[in-house]
């Protein structure tokens, strides 16, 4: 459903993503992990069509983003890490506006808006201006807007930031449910517990390169001593030695 | 509608509609205030042009020539302003607006986004210029008894003219951003526009327009205008617009429709060029603006070093806050460039006193000098408060989204606010004393007035700064991204009203003692013991009033901020 073929992104001398090739299937929840500055957000922005790769191709649902971005975007729902919202619109006005852009109208839109406000627990705030929303409420509203058009692929950058435990649990449930319906979820996260619980497969990017890919069990086999927890696997693969240096420094 | 580009503008107009939701009273008050202010300004423009054109009409032989020349010049300025305004607006609308990430992630074609942004830019950059251009066209119509066809032609011709200015400005912006990063382009344009404004302001003042009230000077000006070559070209759309109007306005022969068709076809050509250029370079420019990491223009290390030396005597916490504020100020081009405007304001203020010819006023010169010096205290106070509303009042709000950092640090709100107080008091005191000492020196006032003015300004400035910081803390606007907007809120308007009231009251309290002392000094009237007490009492009252205006808002500000955050 999502295919990256030899994708590279350079910012002048800096190589943010280097020759990344990846295939994410229909009905899969894919976790994209990596330390800060590893190239996760750049990759996600390229898949969402907000950045162009310096080299390589990206296909969503078989559609090449560089050839037909509009059709590719119509298949996707994108949830950025710092989403933009129109402060002076109400939650409902915002969802209706997004609905219009995805050409959802009339009864279909009415029902969908009601449903999403209900699911995301924002029913009491639908007529409030977004400027009065808390961080978590904004996050829920953005998720609602991303699911409004029943996307085939959901691209999420840090979905758990600012969500309370109920919200986080809800998002996990929604991702699994989407997956059961044959939809694809591509998410980057630092919340390794969530990735462990929700993702079918995990890719770890470090310094712009994909250094590990597979199910949790497959990743376990790639590290020394077959670490149990995803956190240990992640640290071993992405610079546990740096962490050890920090701990040593703090001890001194 | 949902399939058209207009749908993308839906959140914009809806946001305007929702702007004052839940604050209807405030919204109505503000709109009323702006309406009155706008109407007064509008009427002022109309009246000025009406008088000038009436005068031109009376000049035999060349009256109409003068009116046409003036219209041509106005249209060149009008068109230049429109293009420049479109360039500035297009930078934000096309490249820097946060909304773009959302729009570009949606399945919306680039053509639709471009068209929506074109309309947004055109409206945002043209409405004010058009609104305040209307009284000029109105004055021409009234003075020269134009028919309805003239007014229709103004509206008809304006449409392609605005489209040309917008499309040309946008294309120019796209090329600029292709060459330089968007943020750097914005900084350069902000700097250029401020330098342009300052130069225009100084030039206008140094031309001494007040001399035009003298008959001989006015005649000389008219003769000059009649022979001067108009800075226009037959290739400029502003020229075609003028040529479209002139035959209808003055009943002269000409080719109005030929010029209108020139406007129309050029507008269509520019839209096509804009669409073509946009489809080729816009997306690359926008994506590049996402990656850009720019440095600011005023990065000179000596400025920062000077700030470090100056703040060394302060205690560590105050010093840290002050140094941080200075750095942020110097690194924000929209902030520090205003110092240029401030410099121009001071120069013009002092220049006004320098060229003041007291001989022309039929009053005692000594009395007049001291009377002006006395009124000058109020005037300087108003100037300082006008500067303070732009810099001092937003001092708390500019902490913005990073305010949590200070709140989580072991620094009290009281220390924070007083740090800001001292930081702004020092430069404003220098400003106010420069204004008062130099203007008094130009007026050649008595030693008593000089001393009284210098001391009074210390108290007035302290009051203005304390009131600004205090009210800024009572009405903070942490979520406002554009600093200039902080100075337009309810709290800012209240601050301006209170500051003016304070200055007026302080000057009023000093009026009687000053008059009594000056009378004693120049006329030889004796001051009784009771009068002496009353004089001292009045002056003490001014000092106490200033301290109260300074300290009380600070205390309330600390309390309010603590309560709102607890």
Cα–Cα distance between B357 and B361 in angstroms, integer?
8
B49: pLDDT strictly greater than 80: yes
Residue B415: HSE in the Cβ half-sphere, 13 Å Cα cutoff: 15
Identify the closest residue of chain A to B14 by CA–CA distance. Answer: A89
Cα–Cα distance between A116 and A118 in angstroms, integer?
5
Residue A2 forms beta bridges with which residues? Answer: A24, A60
* Burial category of A52 from C-beta neighbours within 10 Å (exposed 0-12, middle 13-18, buried 19 and up): middle
- Cα–Cα distances (Å) from A207 to A16, A152, B291, in that order, read 7, 30, 17
**Mutation test of the interface with chain B: which of A101, A125, A145, choosing the one with the most B Cβ atoms within 10 A?**
A101
The mean per-residue pLDDT over the stretch B192-217 comes to 70
Task: Please tell me the distance in Å from B483's CA to the nearest CA on chain A.
Answer: 17
Residue B110's contacts (CB-CB under 8 Å, 6 or more residues apart) are: B278, B279, B282, B283
Question: Would you give the end-to-end CA distance of chain B in angstroms?
Answer: 48
Confidence of residue A4 (pLDDT cuts 50, 70, 90): very high
The per-residue pLDDT of chain B, averaged, comes to: 83
B493: pLDDT strictly greater than 60: yes
What are the structural domain ranges in chain B? Answer: 21-290, 300-331, 334-565
Confidence of residue B430 (pLDDT cuts 50, 70, 90): very high
Q: What percent of chain B has pLDDT over 90?
A: 29
Cα–Cα distance between B525 and B345 in angstroms, integer?
40
Q: Of the ranges A14-18, A177-181, B448-452, B483-487, which one carries the lowest mean pLDDT score? A: B483-487
**Which residue has better confidence, B177 or B139?**
B139
- pLDDT score of B212: 59
- pLDDT score of B325: 82
Q: Which of B18, B98, B107 sits opposite A74 (nearest CB)?
A: B107
B433: pLDDT strictly greater than 80: yes
**Which residue has better confidence, B479 or B284?**
B284
C-alpha of B260 from chain center: 35
For residue B430, what are its two tokens? Answer: 């220098």
Q: CB of A52 within 8 Å of any CB in chain B?
A: yes
Cα–Cα distance between B378 and B39 in angstroms, integer?
27
Q: Which residue has the tokens 């969908």?
A: A112
- pLDDT score of B228: 62
Residue B240: HSE in the Cβ half-sphere, 13 Å Cα cutoff: 22
Identify the closest residue of chain B to A95 by CA–CA distance. Answer: B11
Q: Of the ranges A26-30, A49-53, B178-182, B285-289, which one carries the lowest mean pLDDT score? A: B178-182
> For strand A184-188 and strand A153-157, is the pairing parallel, antiparallel, or unpaired?
parallel
* Burial category of A90 from C-beta neighbours within 10 Å (exposed 0-12, middle 13-18, buried 19 and up): buried
**Which residue has better confidence, B23 or B297?**
B23
A19 SS3 class: strand
- pLDDT score of B503: 94
**Which residue has better confidence, B210 or A102?**
A102
The ipTM estimated for the assembled molecules is: 0.72
Cα–Cα distance between B38 and A172 in angstroms, integer?
54
* Cα radius of gyration (chain B): 28
Q: Of the ranges A26-35, B78-87, B399-408, which one carries the lowest mean pLDDT score? A: B399-408
B449 SS3 class: helix
Element holding A64 (H helix, E strand): strand A63-64
Residue A84's contacts (CB-CB under 8 Å, 6 or more residues apart) are: B98, B99, B101, B102
Subunit contact A86:B99, Cβ cutoff 8 A:
yes
A92: pLDDT strictly greater than 60: yes
Interface residues from chain B to A (CB-CB < 8 Å): 2-3, 7-8, 10-11, 14-16, 18-19, 21-22, 98-99, 101-102, 104-109, 283-284, 287, 290-291, 479
B375: pLDDT strictly greater than 80: yes
Q: Which of B7, B19, B107 sits opposite A70 (nearest CB)?
A: B107
**Which residue has better confidence, A6 or B187?**
A6
Nearest C-alpha neighbor of B272 from the set B115, B403, B386, B395:
B115
Give the dihedral sign, CA A216/A220/A223/A225: positive
Residues of A in contact with B106 (CB under 8 A): 73, 98, 101-102
Q: Which of A49, A52, A89 sits opposite B15 (nearest CB)?
A: A89
Full DSSP string of A107-153: HHHHHHHHHHHHHTT-GGGTTSBGGG--HHHHHHHHHHHHHTT--SE
Subunit contact B105:A78, Cβ cutoff 8 A:
yes
For residue A43, what are its two tokens? Answer: 């990759």
Residues of B in contact with A54 (CB under 8 A): none
For residue A97, what are its two tokens? Answer: 């506006």
- pLDDT score of B215: 63
- Cα–Cα distances (Å) from B51 to A198, A223, B76, B130, B137, in that order, read 77, 88, 22, 21, 14
Place domain A2-251 in its CATH homologous superfamily.
P-loop containing nucleotide triphosphate hydrolases (3.40.50.300)
**What letter would DSSP give residue A158?**
S
Residue A119's contacts (CB-CB under 8 Å, 6 or more residues apart) are: A144, A170, A174
Q: Are B468 and B388 in contact (CB under 8 A)?
A: yes
Nearest C-alpha neighbor of B456 from the set B344, B546, B353, B382:
B546
Choose the most confident range, by mean pLDDT, from A159-168, B194-203, B291-300, B539-548.
B539-548
Confidence of residue B346 (pLDDT cuts 50, 70, 90): confident
Full DSSP string of chain A: -EEEEEEEEEETTEEEEEEEEEEE-TT-EEEEE--TTSSHHHHHHHHTTSS--SEEEEEETTEETTT-HHHHHHTEEEE-SS----TTSBHHHHHHHHHHHTT--HHHHHHHHHHHHHHTT-GGGTTSBGGG--HHHHHHHHHHHHHTT--SEEEEESTTTT--HHHHHHHHHHHHHHHHTT-EEEEE-S-HHHHHHH-SEEEEEETTEEEEEE-HHHHHHHSGGG-SSHHHHHHHHTTHHHHHHHHHHHH-
Element holding A12 (H helix, E strand): none
Task: Tell me phi and psi for residue A213, to 5 degrees.
Answer: -155, 135
A146: pLDDT strictly greater than 80: yes
What are the structural domain ranges in chain A? Answer: 2-251
**Which residue has better confidence, B426 or B481?**
B426
**Which residue has better confidence, B79 or B27?**
B79
Subunit contact A101:B14, Cβ cutoff 8 A:
no
- pLDDT score of B300: 59
**Which residue has better confidence, A249 or B154?**
B154
Helices (H), B355-481: 365-391, 403-408, 413-443, 447-474
- pLDDT score of A22: 93
Residues of A in contact with B19 (CB under 8 A): 88
Per-residue b/e over B451-476, b at no fewer than 16 CB within 10 Å? Answer: ebbeebbbbbbbbbbbbbbbbbbbbb
Residues of B in contact with A83 (CB under 8 A): 102
Residues of A in contact with B2 (CB under 8 A): 100-101, 103, 105
Task: Please tell me the distance in Å from A141's CA to the nearest CA on chain B.
Answer: 14
Q: What is the pTM of this model?
A: 0.66
The mean per-residue pLDDT over the stretch A179-184 comes to 90
B4 SS3 class: coil
Q: What angle do CA A185, A78, A92 make, to 5 degrees?
A: 120
Residues of A in contact with B8 (CB under 8 A): 101
Identify the closest residue of chain B to A87 by CA–CA distance. Answer: B15
Q: Number of residue pairs across A and B with CB atoms under 8 Å?
A: 76
Nearest C-alpha neighbor of B5 from the set B96, B122, B91:
B122
Question: Would you give the end-to-end CA distance of chain A in angstroms?
Answer: 50
Element holding A5 (H helix, E strand): strand A2-11
């Amino acid at each position: 459903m999502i295919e990256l073929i030899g994708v590279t992104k350079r910012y002048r001398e800096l190589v943010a993503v280097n020759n990344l090739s990846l295939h994410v299937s229909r009905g899969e929840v894919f976790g994209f992990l990596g330390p800060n500055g590893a190239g996760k957000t750049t990759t996600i922005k390229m898949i969402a069509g907000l950045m162009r790769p310096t080299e390589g191709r990206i296909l969503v649902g078989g559609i090449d983003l560089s050839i037909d971005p509009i059709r590719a975007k119509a298949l996707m729902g994108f949830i950025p890490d710092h989403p933009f919202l129109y402060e002076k619109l109400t939650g409902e006005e915002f969802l209706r506006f997004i609905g219009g852009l995805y050409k959802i109208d009339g009864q279909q839109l009415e029902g969908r808006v009601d449903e999403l406000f209900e699911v995301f627990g924002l029913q009491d705030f639908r007529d409030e201006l977004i400027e009065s929303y808390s961080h978590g409420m904004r996050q829920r509203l953005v998720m609602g807007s991303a699911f409004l058009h029943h996307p085939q692929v959901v691209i999420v950058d840090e979905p758990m930031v600012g969500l309370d435990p109920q919200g986080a649990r809800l998002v996990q449930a929604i991702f699994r449910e989407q997956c059961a319906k044959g939809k694809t979820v591509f998410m980057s996260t630092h919340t390794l517990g969530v990735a462990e619980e929700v993702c079918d497969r995990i890719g770890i990017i470090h310094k712009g390169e994909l250094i590990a890919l597979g199910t949790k069990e497959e990743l376990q086999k790639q590290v020394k001593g077959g670490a149990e927890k995803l956190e240990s696997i992640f640290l071993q693969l992405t610079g546990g030695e740096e962490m050890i240096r920090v701990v040593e420094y703090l001890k001194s | 509608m949902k399939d058209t580009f207009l749908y993308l503008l839906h959140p914009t107009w809806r946001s305007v509609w929702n702007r004052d939701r839940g604050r209807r009273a405030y919204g109505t008050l503000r709109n009323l205030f702006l309406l009155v202010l706008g109407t007064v300004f509008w009427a002022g423009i109309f009246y000025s042009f009406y008088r000038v054109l009436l005068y031109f009409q009376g000049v035999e032989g060349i009256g109409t020539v003068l009116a046409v020349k003036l219209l041509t010049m106005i249209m060149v300025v009008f068109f230049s302003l429109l293009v420049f305004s479109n360039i500035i607006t297009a930078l934000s609308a096309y490249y820097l607006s946060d909304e773009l990430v959302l729009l570009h992630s949606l399945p919306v074609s680039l053509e639709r986004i471009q068209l929506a942004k074109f309309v947004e830019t055109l409206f945002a950059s043209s409405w004010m210029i058009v609104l305040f251009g209307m009284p000029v066209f109105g004055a021409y119509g009234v003075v020269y008894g134009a028919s309805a066809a003239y007014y229709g032609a103004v509206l008809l011709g304006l449409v392609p003219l605005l489209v040309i200015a917008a499309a040309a400005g946008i294309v120019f912006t796209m090329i600029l951003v292709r060459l330089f990063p968007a943020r750097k382009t914005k900084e350069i344009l902000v700097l250029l526009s401020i330098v342009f404004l300052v130069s225009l302001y100084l030039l206008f003042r140094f031309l001494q327009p007040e001399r035009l009230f003298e008959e001989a000077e006015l005649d000389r000006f008219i003769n000059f205008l009649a022979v001067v070559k108009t800075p226009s070209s037959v290739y400029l759309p502003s020229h075609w617009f003028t040529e479209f109007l002139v035959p209808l306005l003055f009943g002269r022969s000409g080719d109005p429709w030929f010029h209108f068709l020139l406007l129309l076809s050029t507008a269509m050509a520019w839209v096509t060029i804009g669409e073509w250029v946009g489809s080729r370079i816009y997306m690359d420019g926008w994506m590049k603006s996402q990656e850009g990491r720019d440095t600011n223009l005023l990065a000179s290390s000596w400025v920062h070093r000077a700030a470090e030396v100056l703040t060394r005597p302060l205690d560590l916490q105050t010093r840290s806050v002050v140094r941080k504020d200075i750095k942020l100020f110097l690194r924000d081009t929209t902030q520090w460039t205003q110092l240029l405007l401030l410099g121009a304001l001071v120069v013009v203020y002092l220049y006004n006193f320098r060229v003041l010819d007291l001989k022309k006023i039929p009053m005692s010169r000594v009395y007049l000098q001291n009377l002006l010096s006395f009124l000058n205290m109020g005037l300087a106070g108003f100037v300082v408060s006008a500067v303070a509303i732009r810099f001092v009042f937003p001092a708390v709000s500019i902490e913005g989204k990073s305010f949590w950092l200070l709140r989580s640090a072991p620094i009290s709100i009281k220390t924070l606010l007083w740090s800001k107080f001292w930081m702004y008091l020092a430069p404003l005191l220098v400003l106010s004393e420069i204004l008062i000492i130099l203007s008094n020196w130009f007026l050649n006032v008595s030693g008593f007035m000089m001393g009284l003015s210098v001391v009074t300004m210390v108290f007035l400035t302290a009051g203005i700064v304390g009131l600004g910081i205090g009210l800024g803390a009572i009405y903070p606007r942490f979520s406002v991204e554009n600093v200039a907007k902080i100075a337009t809120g309810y709290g800012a308007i209240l601050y301006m009203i209170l500051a003016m009231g304070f200055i007026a009251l302080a000057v009023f309290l000093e009026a009687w003692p000053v008059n009594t002392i000056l009378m004693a000094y120049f006329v030889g009237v004796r001051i009784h013991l009771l009068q002496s007490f009353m004089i001292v009492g009045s002056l003490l009252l001014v000092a106490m009033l200033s301290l109260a205006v300074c300290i009380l808002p600070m205390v309330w500000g600390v309390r309010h901020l603590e309560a709102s955050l607890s």
